[in-house]
Amino acid sequence: TTARAGVLGFAKALADEVAAAGITVNVLCPGFFGTGRLRELAEARGRSQGKRPEQVLTEMGAAVPIGRIGDPRELAAAAVFLASEPARYITGTVLSVDGGLTRAIV
């Protein structure tokens, strides 16, 4: 979306600005994760499509190349890594944590 492009551009500019101070700036782009919010979306989509939320969630997971909805702990692990000492040389980058859903090459 347009908003996403703006956020990514801002993050890259900010990363360039603060890099000399040893500050890293990265963006995590999450896919579908098993959260209460995803459940709410599945319920709403189910109502509009005449499907059970479980069926909608199954279809969403099947649309992901890895074949499932992500566990929120997987996204948390990526965030923890980017905030860790071993990631201190990573800045100004975008990490899609989406099971392969993003088709673009960045």
Q: Residue 53: pLDDT above 90?
A: yes
Tokens representing 78 are 């990526």
Give the pLDDT confidence score for residue 106 in this predicted structure.
58
- CA dist 16 and 39 (Å) reads 38
- pLDDT per position as a tens digit, 67-102: 999 999 999 999 999 999 999 999 999 999 999 998
Q: What is the pTM of this model?
A: 0.87
Instruction: Return contacts of 19-23, CB within 8 angstroms, 24+ apart.
Output: 19/91, 19/92, 22/88, 23/91
Angle at 82 between CA 22 and CA 88, to 5 degrees: 30
Q: For the residues 37-57, what does the mean pLDDT come to?
A: 97
CATH number of 2-97: 3.40.50.720
Give φ, ψ of 104 to 5 degrees: -75, 150
Report the pLDDT averaged over residues 48-61.
97
